[in-house]
Structure 1
Amino acid sequence: MAMDASRTTLSPSAAAEVVLTFVNTRAIDGSREELLDGAAFSRWLRKEDLIDSPSLVTDADAAAARELRDALVLVLLAHTGEQDEAGRAGAEEYLRRSAELYPLAPVITASGVHLAPTQSGVPGALAKMLAAASDVALRGSWMRLKACRNPPCHLGFYDRTRNSSAAYCSPNRCGAQVAMRTYRSRKAKEEGR
């Protein structure tokens, strides 16, 4: 069922946009945490059209969503070459367990196949995140979904470079910040000799 990797494009699919929208709900650069509590998570789910209005969303649901999001961010960091093996392994295990909590079923039609949640409400919305990630992987673009290696940022982004080598959401902002920190650290070590 794997798709041809040569079909990978330099533009994100709709499924990639769903994953990126979800991982970028964290408070970054002065933005607010969109999954802070049940009320905030409910607003975000409705804004993204991922849940029906009468669905109840609790603080525990928001906590589960943050854990799923954080696991995805750690996996996307690995796509930039981040070497936190223990963190990545824990995130991958969490995602495996999440697949059991938020199951998907194949929907087969004359025009194709896609994965759909088997539950409604919040579990169905979180399953949609897993379905979107699966779709991106099956299309051969999973490694292009990344999280910025700049520690205060970790913004999710789609790597549009031809050789899939981007490590920062913005070379001019985050890439420059990391380069400057590295330079200052090296300078301080040299002066401390």
Structure 2
Amino acid sequence: MEKTETSINNNPGEIPMVGDHLALDLLNTEMRVGNESVDLWRSGEDVHAWLVRCGLLASASIAAAAAAAAEKQTLLRQARELRALARQLIEQWKNGQMGDVQPLNKFLDAYLSAPQVIPTDAGRLVLTRVAKADPVANLLGPVAEAVAQLLTDGELDLVKKCAHPECILWFYDRTKSHKRRWCSMASCGNRHKAAQFRKKVGTT
């Protein structure tokens, strides 16, 4: 079996961002390296770093402040629970089944917000919504909302898993032709080409 060339260490920045949808990037915080499944969320700090990369926290400093307010182990546990739930619901959806959405609704129920009028630097007023829930619910609420949005508004045929047999990453196919096959041409696409070339050379 061909081994992946991906190297994973303790740097959460290595989490692949190839899903083109927040709900699928959530699933991609687990990946396969060789024959092993690897959880790229090892700590609450890893979850915070991922939220920053997704644009859900403005900066690493805000993430650090949120980490001080939230119980890190609680965040890690609930983030993993949300990911497992999202994976189950999305896979069932892809198989033509309707999963139990009540656990997802519990995440959504916990994400409380209220409208607020806020002045901008340009001297204007804007209407926005400010999270009012506990810190962990505030952090995971937008992710749960993205999962709900995918299940209700997403196009089923455009939710795909990488075609490489050793890859478990997902993506939303936003290409014009809707013929995207790989999580990334630079990784799995090239691995497939290399394998096909070796097979061709071996038979000539």
Aligned equivalents of 1:96, 1:21: Cα separation in 2? 20
In the TM superposition, 1:1-193 aligns within 5 A as: 17-29=21-33, 32-51=38-57, 52=62, 53-56=64-67, 57=70, 58-81=72-95, 88-89=99-100, 92-103=101-112, 117-119=131-133, 121-136=135-150, 140-143=153-156, 144-146=158-160, 153-159=167-173
Conserved in 1, the CA contact under 8 Å of 2:115 and 2:129?
Answer: yes
Greater strand share, 1 or 2? 2
RMSD value over aligned CA atoms?
4.3
Please report the TM-score for the alignment, with normalisation by the length of structure 2: 0.52
Shift of 1:68: 0.3
Structure 1: where are the runs of 5+ without partners?
A: 1-14, 108-112, 174-193
Residue-pair matches, total = 149
Shift of 1:40: 2.0
Shift of 1:48: 2.9
Aligned equivalents of 1:114, 1:151: Cα separation in 2? 44
Shift of 1:37: 1.8
Cα distance, 1:114–1:70 mapped onto 2, change above 3 Å: farther
Conserved in 1, the CA contact under 8 Å of 2:31 and 2:167?
Answer: no
Aligned equivalents of 2:87, 2:164: Cα separation in 1? 13
Aligned to 1:7: none
Shift of 1:135: 4.2
Letter in structure 2 aligned against 1:18 = L
Larger Rg: 2
**Identity in percent:** 22
Structure 2: where are the runs of 5+ without partners?
A: 1-18, 117-126, 189-204
SS in 2 for 1:41: helix
Shift of 1:54: 0.9
Aligned equivalents of 2:106, 2:147: Cα separation in 1? 15
CA offsets 1:87-121 (integer angstroms, 9 cap, x no match): x33xx2211221122245689xxxxx998744474
Shift of 1:147: 5.2
